[in-house]
Chain A
């Protein structure tokens, strides 16, 4: 029944044997291949598997808030989202894919490529920040496109918020993404995309405000979805920082200056605490929490009024007549003159063969009147008697020509011209006539609004100069920070000198013919001095007769007089007339007393010229 095949029709059995050996050989080969991976490269490949599944997600530490002296919030945070980029599969990040990401998240592909390049040295499984303050649209998009963009992650974070927008912006500063240079510094704790203070207090006290980011080690699947947590390192929030600023006073100062370009500084000369600091035009620091557009950045940086400059510490201008206080103090302290020294002002005076003009003809002028009416001729004469060396010496010791040391980045030093300075810079001799200009605060001399407040406050306090500051020294110490050295400089002045000078400044505001009557506030004891920093020379002004319109108007005032609790300097750049500055200072001082809740009863209108007041006792109550 069965069809049988003869034996010889079979193929030789060696062929089967051959196939058997082939099978055995193939499996031995494969076994070798698996041995190499599973035994030989086990550790290495296990590590790669770990990197595949483990992702270290940063837990962003909220930045400390910035508060005013009464704890009112100046800078805050609110919850937002940060988009992270995972580079553990770098080859996935082809140019084409980066373009897709850029389009989806509204970013510049060039920035992403730079980020990938700059973060190449970081551990692969550590994601980097791709976009701060992501919009809800971005978050929704990523959630919906997990499989297309497995390398994107969303984490909760805090966005910096400046609730008062432009108020005190130049003081508070702003934050931005850390620069490549900062990351490259040895020991730098920063990763690309981290936030860092870029300006103002945010920069100065970045290390206090910053906090320490935590980390969450999570298990992810191949689509980048979290499936578990392996461990957590909690974030350490940054410390809140209390400033000496008084928000209400700040608001009053901002309002008083209005939209005029310039600066206002209010100091407590007893402590050096800055009560208000205004620089106009201002900017809204909130714009820096999002990637700033090129257009906005250009507008900010090319604005002729430099909104990104803190004019309170960076505007260096001639102090004008305010400098007469320094010249006068020097003359009295050196006994070059007495307060009874009198000249006959005829509107001009010729010294060293050069005619110097006064802005007015004042007649018979003694020291007091010279300050009240701001007589140029008087101080031309005093300047000649003093000589540049003494003016220079006193200006420097009264706080000018060098930074005050305030805890803000970028403070300028101002300039006190001297024979040594012209020799060093211009390689020439000092012209004696220059001394005469410097004596009334014109010429190459430059001061900042902060310096003039510091100097005048110090003189009115009898020669005690408390270093201006914004953060409380004791609180910095409590935070473990290294506070700037507490340098209260003592340069004691004779009581008679202080009396003569302060009484003069009281007259400026309160006496008929005083140049600073605009600062007068009924019921308040205010003293001060005006100044006009000429932008063009006197002779040019005579011919053009409109240069005055381009002058910078200054006023420095304090209250009460003497022994002030507050000193306010005001600079109005390109003010229409020099008198615009004084009322601003008056407004600020008025607001100060209102803010005090009239607790400290205002000093009587008529200042106590003498009497048993011990100035140093008052100063001993330093904060």
Chain B
């Protein structure tokens, strides 16, 4: 056990990448909200980044094995809190997603991602088999399904979906076999119609407009139409900060939150898009390289679980903006406005640092 703070192996490059993207996000939030009632929102985001940095530092000093040893308690606590949120949480815009702690509203479902990442890592940390069993797959599914269903009925299907890449990555690393993939795929296919019935009307509409984007340019595909116009009008160099008409005049809903990348692409153009893509790719590759060099299985699972969620959210959010995926409430990590999302990323980053810094400890 270390007895003093040690940042000797802290991955400053990774940390720098994170700060770079977060800064771009803050600037874009400033740009899209400066002329609106949300002006000043960017300051809040800066506070979250500072708080996040502090949390990353703290987390990096904690031995992740300690957390892994107590993960079942954390998991049970998460499920309990999710139930509490559903029953007693404040109702915001018709959904129960928020937990109020000391004046802050916290989206618990975001932090649950971290718990699931840890739980999956703990599950496979000590196993010796090269292939995953059906029992393990079932356990894995259950691990995501219990909080996932609780979050989905909030309703927050977007966040619930982000639990999937965690268990998918876990199963992949643990050694899922081709036949298992095929059987699971088949089950999924058969469950599709059932899923349709479970969707809420607005969710169905989003899905329908995704399949037939031309039919209804008003409702949910209005959003995609508008984000596409915004992105396309950015051109090579962009309209300039604060000059994107789509984001400035309110044609993009939630231009500072989920749809921030559309505003960014409008104002910064393809050059900006390319730059941010590079930052994300380098960040992800660095996380994956970290997994390669991790001191143990648990560490690798943690890094890859985190990378999986991160990648899933970035790819789906950015793809959503150009109509490649149906619109769901998935924020863009590090750029979208939102404290809970930030908190998850920085806590996850702290965990990543903790893994990285233990590589050379012998």
Contacts and interface: CB of A to CB of B under 8 A. Distances in A.
B46 interface: no
Contact of A46 (B233, B295, B361): B233
A49 B239 CA distance: 11
Interface residues of B, number: 58
A30 B232 contact: no
Interface stretch (B152-160, B195-203, B317-325): B317-325
Given A9-B297, A11-B173, A45-B232, A23 B288 contact: yes
B324 A33 contact: yes
A227 B251 CA distance: 13
Nearest to A19: B288
Contacts of A92: 218
B229 A52 contact: yes
Interface string B213-249: 0001110000000101111111110000000011001
B285 A23 contact: yes
A45 B228 contact: yes
B75 interface: no
Contacts of B228: 37, 45
Interface stretch (A218-226, A375-383, A607-615): A218-226
A39 B169 CA distance: 35
Interface stretch (B51-59, B112-120, B268-276): B268-276
B249 A42 contact: no
A33 B235 contact: no
Interface string B269-294: 11001100100110011001101100
B297 A222 contact: no
B153 to A, nearest CB: 30
Interface in A210-240: 219-223, 227
A2 B226 CA distance: 54
A334 B233 CA distance: 87
Nearest to A54: B245
Contacts of A33: 319, 322, 324
Interface string A87-109: 00101101000000000000000
Contact of A42 (B216, B235, B289): B235
Nearest to A10: B297
Given A11-B174, A221-B250, A53 B288 contact: no
Contact of A16 (B249, B274, B304): B304
Interface string A10-30: 110101100110011011001
A141 interface: no
A429 interface: no
A37 B322 contact: yes
Nearest to A53: B245
A38 B292 contact: no
A421 interface: no
A37 B233 CA distance: 8
A9 B296 CA distance: 9
B1 interface: yes
A91 B216 contact: yes
B311 interface: yes
B265 interface: yes
A44 interface: yes
Interface residues of A, number: 45
Interface in A31-45: 31, 33-35, 37-39, 41-42, 44-45
Given A37-B232, A49-B230, A16 B288 contact: yes
A4 B311 contact: no
A46 B270 contact: no
A42 B233 contact: yes
B109 interface: no
Contact of A223 (B175, B229, B234, B250): B250
Given A23-B288, A31-B273, A46 B304 contact: no
B319 A3 contact: no
B273 A222 contact: no
A149 to B, nearest CB: 13
Given A23-B311, A222-B249, A46 B288 contact: no
A294 B245 CA distance: 46
A52 B266 CA distance: 14
Interface in B249-270: 249-251, 265, 269-270
A114 interface: no
A476 B125 CA distance: 99
Contacts of B358: 2
Contacts of A52: 226, 229, 245-246, 249, 251
B249 A46 contact: no
Contact of A34 (B216, B231, B285, B315): B231
Nearest to B228: A37
B172 interface: yes
Nearest to B280: A27
B235 A39 contact: yes
A78 interface: no
B354 interface: no
Nearest to B130: A11
Given A45-B232, A53-B245, A31 B251 contact: no
B249 A53 contact: yes
Nearest to B219: A91
Contact of A39 (B230, B236, B249, B251): B236
A38 B217 contact: no
A30 to B, nearest CB: 6
Given A9-B128, A46-B232, A38 B265 contact: yes
Nearest to A51: B229
A33 to B, nearest CB: 5
Nearest to B261: A34
Given A31-B273, A33-B319, A33-B322, A46 B235 contact: yes
B233 A2 contact: no
B233 A49 contact: yes
A38 B251 contact: no
A34 B234 CA distance: 10
Contacts of A46: 232-233, 235
Interface in A528-579: none
A38 B269 contact: yes
B119 to A, nearest CB: 18
A426 interface: no
Contacts of B218: 89, 91-92, 94
B231 A37 contact: yes
Contacts of B174: 11
B231 A11 contact: no
Nearest to B318: A30
B307 interface: yes
Contacts of A15: 172-173
Nearest to A228: B249
B1 A5 contact: no
A45 B270 contact: no
A223 B37 CA distance: 14
Given A10-B297, A15-B173, A20 B230 contact: no
A48 interface: yes
A1 interface: yes
Interface of B: 1, 65, 125-126, 128, 169, 172-175, 216-218, 226, 228-236, 245-246, 249-251, 265, 269-270, 273-274, 277, 280-281, 284-285, 288-289, 291-292, 295-298, 300, 304, 307, 311, 315, 318-319, 322, 324, 358, 361-362
14 contacts: A11-B174, A16-B292, A20-B289, A26-B311, A30-B277, A30-B315, A30-B324, A34-B270, A38-B231, A38-B265, A42-B236, A52-B229, A52-B246, A223-B250
Given A4-B296, A30-B324, A38-B231, 19 more contacts: A2-B361, A5-B298, A9-B128, A10-B300, A11-B300, A23-B288, A27-B315, A30-B315, A30-B318, A30-B322, A34-B265, A34-B270, A38-B269, A38-B273, A42-B235, A46-B232, A49-B246, A52-B245, A52-B251
Interface of A: 1-5, 9-11, 13, 15-16, 19-20, 23-24, 26-27, 30-31, 33-35, 37-39, 41-42, 44-46, 48-50, 52-53, 89, 91-92, 94, 219-223, 227
> What 6 pairs between A and B have smallest CB-CB spacing?
A45-B232, A222-B250, A49-B233, A221-B249, A38-B270, A37-B232
